[in-house]
Amino acid sequence: MPRGAEPSPVRVGFSVPKKKFRNAVDRNRVKRLLREAWRLNKHLLYAAVAPEDHLHIFLIFTDNKLPETPAITVVVTNGLLKLAEQIGKQQQQKEL
């Protein structure tokens, strides 16, 4: 971690299987789209994670065809909202 950087409450990784996309250019494009969708929507999850907690997420792309940017954004956003909802439920259970 670089000096002066604050630790993030959420760490994320991305994977695109070589079996699905043989060309590295295609795999890198999908990972780039996933990273951009994460960057634009990570605030949805950051609001749900308590400051003292840490969360590690790994996104694996499993479709056979190259996605478009809006489709990836919708899927990542929906996944983050569902995850944030689950985290909220768990925190409510802790409080009880």
Q: Which domain holds residue 80?
A: 10-95
Q: Is 2 domain-assigned? A: no
Cα atoms in the Cβ-side hemisphere of radius 13 Å centred on 4: 0
- 55: helix, strand or coil: strand
Q: Is 41 domain-assigned? A: yes
Name the pTM for this structure: 0.86
Q: How many domains does one find in the chain?
A: 1
pLDDT band, very low/low/confident/very high, at 6 (cuts 50, 70, 90): confident
pLDDT tens-place string over residues 54-95: 899 999 999 999 999 999 999 999 999 999 999 989 888 887
pLDDT band, very low/low/confident/very high, at 50 (cuts 50, 70, 90): confident
Q: Is 67 domain-assigned? A: yes
The conformation of residue 64, written as its DSSP 8-state character, comes to S
pLDDT band, very low/low/confident/very high, at 7 (cuts 50, 70, 90): confident
**Residue 4 confidence (pLDDT) above 60:** no
- Cα distance between residue 85 and residue 68, in whole Å: 26
- Confidence at residue 93, expressed as pLDDT on a 0 to 100 scale: 85
